């Protein structure tokens, strides 16, 4: 120990003042193990490919799935109109690795193929197109000729080539806010045939955000709408009016969105009927999806909605239940 007249280094000081120094090495290790929780692994790190499907657990899960579907269909009520959502997502390998995803997808598809009559499929494919199509073909044939009721690949964000291959196989393309993120995405949407189009929100996620490329079409649409007075479009001014004095901006004043929401928005703690919940995508925002598609394709919103509705009714057999 240093004398009171001798300055200590920072290392010596920490040792002198650290109460754990009174324990021996063995005691210190014991104390650390008692009071220190080991760090878990990174939850966003990809799941190791060393994990393999468990045959017994898989068989049990598939048996349960088959039983649930069979019982629901035998009830005489139209409870089930499709099988899904399921598929492959290689952007989420931290949840499940490729091997287990592929095994599960094929097993679920084989259940779907065994049903009589079959159900249409509600499918998911993200960053996994090659394996996705290969597994579908392995179960239903090279042209998916064994898929009696067809299906939709929802929340589509893939490439032009991927979209065309899916349409050529007879599948439908589901479009939502995530389908408009980039200029490339918007070009893909433009090329989706109306007879293969479905629209969705995928709420509470996948809203149309101001950062998305497709948002500009909402701004352009708003700008193109003439102000209405007494049910008639207001005449355009022949000369610019003097600019009105803007009210002084209050401190911490909330910035208004370029395209205001048509519905009232409240915090979840202040929920009320008829209002949207802040930060949550809602079914009513599907109109924005239709509006952006119409602008991208240069067709009317009504044409988009009519086509999407017709396709939805056809694929999910809703004309049989309505």
Over the stretch 17-38, which tens digit does the pLDDT of each residue have?
444 444 455 555 555 566 655 6
The reported pLDDT for the residue numbered 259 is: 83
Q: What percent of the chain has pLDDT over 90?
A: 65
Known binding-site positions: 85, 124, 154, 202
CB 177 within 8 A of CB 212: yes
pLDDT interval class at 217 (50, 70, 90): very high
User: Hey, is 121 helix, strand or coil?
Assistant: strand
* Residue range 161-219+260-321, CATH number: 3.20.20.140
Across 54-58, 192-196, 211-215, 236-240, least confident range: 236-240
Q: What percent of the chain has pLDDT over 70?
A: 75
Known binding-site positions for a divalent metal cation: 85, 124, 154, 202
State phi, psi for 263 to the nearest 5 degrees: -115, 150
User: Hey, is 119 helix, strand or coil?
Assistant: coil
CATH 3.20.20.140-classified regions of the chain: 161-219+260-321
In terms of Cα–Cα distance, which of 132, 188, 134, 193 is closest to 157? 188
Question: Which pTM does this prediction carry?
Answer: 0.78
The reported pLDDT for the residue numbered 15 is: 46
The reported pLDDT for the residue numbered 53 is: 85
């Amino acid at each position: 120990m240093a004398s009171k007249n001798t300055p200590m280094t920072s290392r010596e000081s920490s040792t002198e003042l650290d109460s754990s120094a009174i324990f021996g090495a063995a005691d210190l290790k014991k104390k650390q193990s008692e009071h220190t929780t080991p760090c878990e692994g990174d939850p966003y790190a990809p799941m190791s490919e060393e994990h393999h499907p468990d045959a017994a657990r898989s068989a049990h899960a598939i048996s349960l799935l088959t039983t649930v579907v069979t019982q629901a269909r035998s009830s005489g009520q139209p409870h089930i109109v499709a099988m899904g959502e399921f598929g492959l997502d290689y952007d989420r390998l931290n949840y499940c690795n490729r091997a287990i995803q592929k095994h599960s997808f094929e097993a679920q598809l084989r259940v779907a193929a065994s049903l009589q009559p079959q159900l249409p499929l509600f499918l998911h494919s993200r960053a996994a197109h090659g394996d996705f199509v290969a597994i579908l073909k392995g179960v239903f044939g090279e042209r998916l000729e064994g898929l009696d009721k067809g299906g939709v690949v929802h929340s589509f964000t893939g490439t032009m080539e991927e979209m065309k291959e899916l349409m050529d196989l007879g599948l439908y393309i589901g479009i939502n806010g995530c389908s408009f993120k980039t200029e490339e995405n918007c070009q893909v949407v433009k090329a989706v045939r109306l007879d293969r189009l479905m629209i969705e929100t995928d709420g509470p996620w996948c809203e149309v955000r101001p950062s998305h490329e497709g948002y500009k079409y909402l701004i352009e649409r708003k700008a193109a709408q003439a102000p209405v007075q007494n049910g008639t479009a207001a005449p355009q001014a022949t000369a610019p009016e003097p600019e009105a004095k803007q009210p002084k901006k209050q401190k911490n004043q909330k910035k208004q969105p370029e395209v205001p929401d048509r519905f009232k928005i409240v915090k979840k703690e202040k929920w009320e009927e008829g209002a949207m919940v802040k930060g949550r995508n809602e079914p009513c925002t599907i109109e924005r999806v239709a509006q952006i598609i119409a602008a991208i394709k240069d067709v009317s919103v009504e044409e988009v909605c009519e086509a999407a509705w017709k396709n939805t009714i056809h694929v999910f057999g809703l004309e049989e239940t309505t």
